[in-house]
Structure 1
Amino acid sequence: MADTASVRVTDHFYLARQPILGRDQHLFAYELLFRHADEPAVDVTDQAAATAAVISHASQLGMQHVLGGRLAFLNVDEIVLMSDFIRFLPPDKVILEILETVKATPRLIDRVVELKKNGFRFALDDVVCDAGDVRQLKSLVDVIKVDIKATGRERLPQLVKSLRGEGQKLLAEKVETPEEAELCMRLGFDYFQGYYFARPSVLTGQKIAPSELALLHLIELIGSNADKQEIESSAGEEPQIRANLLRLLNSPMVEHRGKIESLSQALETLGPRQLGRWLQILLYSKPGAPVDLHSPLLLTAAARGKRMELMMERLRPKDQAAIASAFTVGILSLMDAMFSMSIAEVLGNLDLPDEVRDALLERKGDLGTMLRIVETIEIDHFRTDEFGQLLRKVGLTPADLTEIEIEAITWSDELALAA
């Protein structure tokens, strides 16, 4: 009966994850989230209970695929903490995030102490004050997550001062702008959660660097089926592009025989579509520098591309051009943040199919709807009824999304490990 319930839950909830960065702005962990895709309002405690059912079911697929290669924060309520569900989780891979609705009863405190003896670590979620249940639990946890939106800028410095203790790390959550990230950095937060790193800061007069233009030109050449000599000649003008690309192509991420030593060999071995995919990923490397495969912006863009590719594979499994276009839309959707200019200006340097441009500029067509879906997965708050409508519009279910997300998690983690 437990397995039947698990399958039923996954028909209504989908899996997502949000990046948590350290002070070096590299990935530290992910928060795993299980969200309802249809009902207008679902109590957060119900979602925590769903966590138990979904993870229990997903454990059959292999827990490493659900958690990924990174440390995972996982929402838990009193029901989950007291249940045998906890045994499914590897203590060294998760931080149990105690929801703000949980009361610090003697029974619950005893359970936290017991689990800590078994190697589990804990975080407090959505903290906005240093009182009540927070005060009773904070000495037992490893991380305190502060909701900076609900706290407000005026109260934030004093709250940080009162929460700072021996051994506890502070995490700023709902950080949505570079300005908020800078404030939290100054206040001494250890970790940061939110998509401030993917928010474009459009700068007047910003220009694309020559090496970036060269990469864009190379992507166009491959997309237009240019001859190998022209491709090699274009890549030869920017040795760092060649070095970054060969590094990726000779990683375990790319399945092929032997070592790839040139772009013409890569083109012959992989074909233009596969080669174009890796060049698109390189757009998120800094000009003239080795590609940073731990960059949260690169990994977020790559995960978007992979999710959209997997969606299109389900909807049009035989349409390779549509599958490639889906990956391209996902990858390019964060170009404004990378180049600090509008997406329209970035696209002015690329000759792309109309359906790709329409999706990126106006969220039109199936590709535009799919991009709205992957963007919605990333945000903290959204209208679930509208999200359910988006899924139905393209013919996907929440269960489809959970399977897609697990595969995308595995793929993006492998990409980071290729560093």
Structure 2
Amino acid sequence: MTNSALENASQPVRPRDFYLGRQPVIDRQQALFGYELLFRSAARGSAEFGSGLAATAAVIAHTAQLGLEKVIGAAVGFINVDAEVLASDIFAFLPRDRVILELVGTVQATDALLARIAELAGHGFRFCAAGIASDTPNVQRLLPLVDFVKLDLHDMPQATLARLVPLWRRAGKKLVAEKVETREEYKLCMELGFDYFQGYHFAKPAVLGGRKLSPSQLAVVELMNMVTSDAENKVIEKAVKKDAALALNLLRLVNTPAVGARQRIDSLGQALMLLGRRQLQRWLQILLYAEPGARGHTLSPLLMLATTRGRLMELLAQRLRPGQRNLSEIAFTVGMMSLMDVLFEVRMDDLMEQIPMIDDVSEALLYRSGFFGELLKLAESIERMDDVAVEVAPTLKTLAISSDDLLDLEVAAFEWSDNVVRYAI
């Protein structure tokens, strides 16, 4: 990049003057494939910073300094780029095997741009064509150079989707359905033949009268009841030993970086002593979200979302109310429990009747009110990044926390969640 380009890159937005969000992209087996990284201006709350090169250069450079692997974990990252960005040399910041460059809909397939895409592809970068509404000559020129095609469900009628999907599948492209927000939309995209799905359909509760818990989940619930009723360690240890998978996962948990044990722990008794009751309750909450048949094989997007949300709320509480450990522990519980209606397929108010909670927790989960409710609203707003000016900015102001602090805590939560899920589950 030239000196003038670097100067331009630093002018429109301070390196840390932005909000960072990530939206999950999952595969046909409901396993996490990647994230689209979303950057929004903290000053203006918009999706645009000004010049595409200036904005993207500043953000990518800073994200690289933070450590992109902390943001996306073991997944891949979709990053939006335009023609100006592609003409720059900022790609030295990015791990080419972990990034998919998403061409925004305004990109025109000029000879120069096609040559640049081919050059970057030769260095190992992969591309996704996004913002496509029809099979135009511009799209036809881009198609041979991209691996993925992303279609916005809300931008085109179903008949158009049904016509374009087979066309691009025959061309060997991986198809990503964007803005999949309901189970009906997900089912439609599955039937049409999409490979990947971006959106929060998996985090929407489907109240079907209560789903039958797996034996593993029942064992975890029983243990949670023992912990909250102050059962003796020997009784808890005996219960854990009845479920071999649960015992194995508990030992994995105490030997991960997220716990920070100084030496290897090989017995359940040692594990229970090291964790303590509050930490044990936390890990049991996490284990509830783990798919019993998929541990160690796939990344559950719901588990990733719950652990990230819980950890971010915990870190926010620590920052805002230092020295009040009980508040940060409650914040983590609220974050984890905020998706249990999805997990168990029951209404949240019904869940609150079955699991006794203090008023602050119930009000946060049911009405998004109080201190923990504000933290939960902030975590949910960041996940979606739909309108940061209306949702994120006011909550930050209410909580008296800066966008700089929020970014630090987000990255820490991303990294912690990835460590827990990747190494322990």
Give 1:4 deviation, angstroms. Answer: 9.5
State the 1:388 CA deviation.
Answer: 0.4
2:264 to 258, 263, 287: 258
The structural deviation recorded for 1:253 is 3.6
375-384 vs 139-148, greater mean Cα deviation:
375-384
**Unaligned segments of structure 1, at least 5 residues:** none
Bigger shift: residues 112-121 or 9-18: 9-18
Is 1:119 matched up with 2:124? Answer: yes
Residue equivalent to 1:134: 139
Partner of 1:400: 405
Report SS of the residue matched to 2:25. strand
Among 28, 37, 54, the residue aligned to 1:32: 37
Q: Distance in 2 between matches of 1:11 and 1:251?
A: 31
Q: Which moved more, 1:109-118 or 1:49-58?
A: 49-58
The match for 1:103 among 98, 108, 123 is 108
Q: 1:244 to 1:345 in 2, by over 3 A?
A: farther
What CA distance in whole angstroms lies between the structure 2 residues aligned with 1:180 and 1:381? Answer: 19
Aligned residue among 48, 56, 59 for 2:64: 59
Residues in 2 aligned to 1:280 and 1:48: alpha-carbon distance in whole angstroms: 43
Question: Number of matched residues?
Answer: 418
> Residues 205, 74 of structure 1: CA spacing in aligned structure 2 closer, same or farther, 3 A cutoff?
closer
TM-score by length of 2: 0.89
Percentage of pairs with the same residue: 43
Task: Pick the aligned partner of 1:232 from 225, 232, 237.
Answer: 237
Moved more, 215-224 or 53-62: 215-224
**Structure 1 residues 113 and 341: alpha-carbon distance in aligned structure 2, compared to 1, 3 A threshold:** same
- For residues 47 and 348 of structure 1, the distance between their equivalents in structure 2, rounded to whole angstroms, comes to 51
Q: Name the CA distance, whole Å, in 1 between partners of 2:240 and 2:370.
A: 34
How far apart, in 2, do the equivalents of 1:194 and 1:289 lie?
A: 22
Q: Report the RMSD for the aligned CA atoms in angstroms.
A: 2.7
Write out the 4+ residue segments of structure 1 that deviate beyond 6 Å after TM superposition.
Answer: none
Pick from 10, 15, 40 the counterpart of residue 5 of structure 1: 10
TM alignment of 1:20-419, pairs within 5 A? 20-37=25-42, 39=44, 41-43=46-48, 49-204=54-209, 206=211, 212-223=217-228, 225-235=230-240, 238-256=243-261, 257-262=263-268, 264-286=269-291, 294-379=299-384, 381-418=386-423, 419=425
TM-score between both structures, scaled by the size of structure 1: 0.90
* Distance in 2, Cα, partners of 1:11 & 1:288: 41
Q: Is the 8 A contact 1:240 1:290 kept in 2?
A: no
**In structure 2, C-alpha distance between the alignment counterparts of 1:214 and 1:46, rounded to whole Å:** 55
Distance 1:113-1:211 versus aligned 2 partners, 3 A rule? closer
Q: Compute the displacement of 1:39 (Å).
A: 2.8
Q: Which amino acid aligns with 2:23?
A: Q
By how many angstroms is 1:380 displaced?
A: 5.5
Deviation at 1:390, TM superposition (A): 0.7
Checking the alignment, whether the CA contact within 8 Å between 2:306 and 2:335 is kept in structure 1 is yes
How far apart are residue 249 of structure 1 and its match?
Answer: 2.8
Greater Cα shift, 330-339 or 4-13: 4-13
Q: Distance in 2 between matches of 1:210 and 1:190?
A: 31
1:166-216 alpha-carbon deviations (Å, 9 max, x no partner): 332111111111221121111111111111111111012555567545423
In structure 2, what is the Cα distance between the partners aligned to 1:4 and 1:261? 54
